[in-house]
Amino acid sequence: MSKLPVNGTHPPLGTLIHDDTIQLVSVLGNGGYGVVFLGVDISSKRRRKYAVKCMSKAKGRRTAHVRELNFHLQVTGHPGVIECYGAVEDDNFTYFIMEYATSNDLFHQILHEYRYLAQDDTIKYVFLQLIEGVQHCHKMGVFHRDLKPENVMCFDDGHRVAITDFGLATSDSSSCEFRTGSVYHMSPECQAGHFREDAYSPVANDVWSLGIILVNMVTGRNPWKSATKEDPVYQNYLQAPLTFFSSVLPVSNPLNNLLVRVLNPEWKARMSLHDFKHAIQDISTFYSVNVHFEGNLASSFTHITLILMSLAAHTLDSGTVGRILHLNSILWLILILILIPTRHLLRLFHLIPRPSALGSCARSGKGSPCRDRRRRMLGWRTLLGPPIGITDAFLHLLLM
């Protein structure tokens, strides 16, 4: 292995590893775990590409690296799991050499390529692959605990998917390790909040995460920020679980019924992976008849109604609102648009991120002014994720 200087957190581009046969040529991604490089086999004419996950050995992390590697090797060999070919190390870093995903990750496909919106057959085909990958891991005694779109790699323009990143995985069928994973996709029992017990099931935790990913794929949204008592949107779900999703998202009745079972806050009553798979196979459409697609998001007339009625309730007198509600829905929608003061509608227009702008920002280079604008837009997109969130934001602005 080449002895090249490092910059502290990761080796420089051009570093050679694996007996000087694989060169690190570019950065594919980075995070708290370290950096993922594109590695090229320079010893052969094929110049095969690899994803090389590089992690610092500082602070005694080597034990965690060995644990992650063992879990990944244990489940390697299934099409729903990224292939891991092994690991090498030097004095400063551990390198996992893995299969290179040619189409980025599921997060990219959802947010930037709009790959699955309005595509019932594609959603079903891809999500069933994801379920089968998780089933394989569980069969091998490995429970992921950090399933999210960023940890699902894509091939063939997002039509084939495979799971990666087993850094938080466990082989324990019952766990007392709380807050493992990413908050948006973490189950309520894993949050160690209101629903905390002595132990929870990592199997059921993975099922919950898959349910959130399904909402991401179908609507481009997160249903809430965190499944905790501090999240008002999640609390709204707990108060009316049977009608929550269909009231704020453009989901079909079969999908609504499925989500209620998959996202059951009581993990012991949560749907099994086996039943989850068969339920997905039986769904003919994931969308309601009043769905509206714009950019990377799916909305519904109910969503628009919720926002406009909230605006009306704070800008029109109750008698006017009451008379409007007795009219045909299209007529009262037109009337509300006419009657609500223009300044409030302008606020609404400026707060909603335009998907085309979001896409152009995603393509901007490092350090561009568009980068900060994209970060702000993504913040509002989180409020959009469920529609009721942005309604609350509007009400806050109206009452200022």
Residues in binding site for ATP: 53
Going by C-alpha positions, the residue among 282, 247, 241, 283 that lies closest to residue 262 is 241
Q: Contact 234/227 with Cβ under 8 angstroms?
A: yes
Active-site residue (options: 19, 20, 105, 146):
146
Cα 348 to chain centroid, rounded:
26
Q: How far is CA 189 from the centre of its chain?
A: 19
Query: What is the DSSP secondary structure assignment for residue 105, as one 8-state letter?
Result: B
- Write phi, then psi, for 206 (nearest 5 degrees): -65, -35
Residue whose entry in the numeric block shows the structure tokens 């994720």: 385
Query: How is residue 201 annotated by DSSP?
Result: -
Tell me how far apart the terminal alpha carbons of the chain are, to the nearest angstrom: 61
| Known binding-site positions | 53
- Residue 356 CA to residue 145 CA, distance in Å, equals 34
**Neighbouring C-beta atoms of residue 333, cutoff 10 Å:** 17
* Known catalytic residue at 146: yes
325 C-beta neighbours (distance < 10 Å), count = 12
Q: Which residues are catalytic?
A: 146
